[in-house]
Amino acid sequence: MTDATTDATTAPPASTGPSMETPWSVSVLSTKIRDYIDRLGTVWVEGELTQWSVSGGNVYGKLKDLNTDVTVSIQLWSSVRARLSEDFKQGDRVVALVKPNWWTKGGSLTMTVVQLKHVGLGDLLERLERLRKQLAGEGLFDAARKKQLPFLPHCIGLITGKDSDAEKDVLRNAQLRWPAVDFRVVHAAVQGDRCAPEVTAAIARLDADPKVDVIIVARGGGDFQNLLGFSDERVLRAAASAGTPIVSAIGHEADRPLLDEVADLRASTPTDAAKRVVPDVADELARVQQARARLGTRLTHLLTHEADRIGQLRSRPVLASTSWIVDQRAQDLTYYLARGSDLLDRTIERAQASTTELATRLRALSPQATLDRGYAIAQLPDGHVLRRADQAPAGTPLVLTLAEGVVGADSTGPATRGQAAASEPSASEPSATK
């Protein structure tokens, strides 16, 4: 054995298992070995009985390989031994259905025998194994093709023997769990030559019934050969092609016909089938009550939370009294009115100042202002303003517009240049006579 400290390739990573610093205890190791072995399930083996001793009704023996020197310990409990239809002794060649068991306290491995037959069953087991491999290759055992069972089937199809204990167990337990459940029972032979064709026909009949939600094929425990009909290829293919979910409830826990592999659900017993197909009304009512209680609690909490939020909102000053809105808006209105009046007064004052300035400028430029300073406007009889002396020969009647009123006059003719210069108005004033 290679030292773990020198061979890093054989040492497991510290994160995936025990190490020298964190080793397992013996009990942990023994428990993990037991758990691993328990996953192996049951297996058929062939060998020779080299020891067969009875103690307290239980059998303890040895099973030796037929070709090599390999021996395993076996044990048969009294309940299994009571069901054996054959007698066994040391030296017999047998085929046994065994389940490996690891005794954690003592650290020993034993094989618990579930079924035991003389070696004559070897050919039959070989044929079943070939059929198993064929069907597995076709995908009939794949978990992906298995259909989901309905939560609460309204109508259950039951294929079983007439007046059998399996029928009574299924009906009684299903109705105890859900009294309103309905059954369509089809009786068929559950062993012998008629078993395969009758079970096949029953599956087809119930599968064609639209009211049937799930089909249970049930039979009580029995001899291995009595259960061969449920490993018949016709039955298996009928179950695989059915559109309705199939539940296999054949024999006891240790019985494993091939129908268990093809069915959508395997039940260990007919009673187990009833419990797994039909929900318990008491459990469902309890779940409904729990859901209602949780919903009520949640709703109460939500309403309380919202009521508190509304109370908090109503307690705020903004919602406690509505008069503040009018008061605040009244203050705003008074402010805006005063500001508007002030702005308007300022605007009017600016306009008045501008008007006064314009009026002053206008008066300064007005002809009336010139007339007020003593000037006059001379007009010809036709209304034209006299601008040149040659426009009014002597004796031409003139109209003189004064600052106040109008007078008539006659032209004396053109004056001398000196006289004209003395009476000529400035360039910025209109033509007038002074």
| Angle between helices 165-177 and 270-277 in degrees, nearest 10 | 30
Q: For the CA atoms of the chain, what is the radius of gyration?
A: 61
Tokens coding 334: 């008074």
The predicted structure's pLDDT at residue 5: 36
pLDDT in tens, the chain (434 residues): 333 333 333 444 444 568 888 898 888 888 888 888 888 888 888 888 888 888 888 998 999 887 777 888 899 988 888 888 777 887 777 888 999 988 888 888 888 998 888 766 566 777 788 899 999 999 999 999 999 999 989 999 999 999 899 999 999 999 999 888 899 999 999 987 788 999 999 999 999 999 999 999 999 877 676 788 899 999 999 999 999 999 999 977 666 889 999 999 999 899 999 999 999 888 888 889 999 999 999 999 999 999 999 888 878 777 777 777 787 788 888 999 999 999 999 999 999 999 999 988 887 777 877 787 788 888 888 888 888 888 888 888 888 888 788 888 877 767 655 454 444 454 444 444 44
Specify whether the CB–CB gap between 247 and 219 falls below 8 A: no
Q: How far is CA 305 from the centre of its chain?
A: 26
The domains located in the chain, with CATH, are 26-121 (2.40.50.140), 138-273 (3.40.50.261), 369-423 (no CATH)
**What is the pLDDT at residue 229?**
86
Model confidence pTM above 0.85: no
- State residue 416's pLDDT score: 53
Sheet of 377-379: strand order equals 377-379, 397-401, 406-410
- CA angle 368/369/370 to nearest 5° reads 90
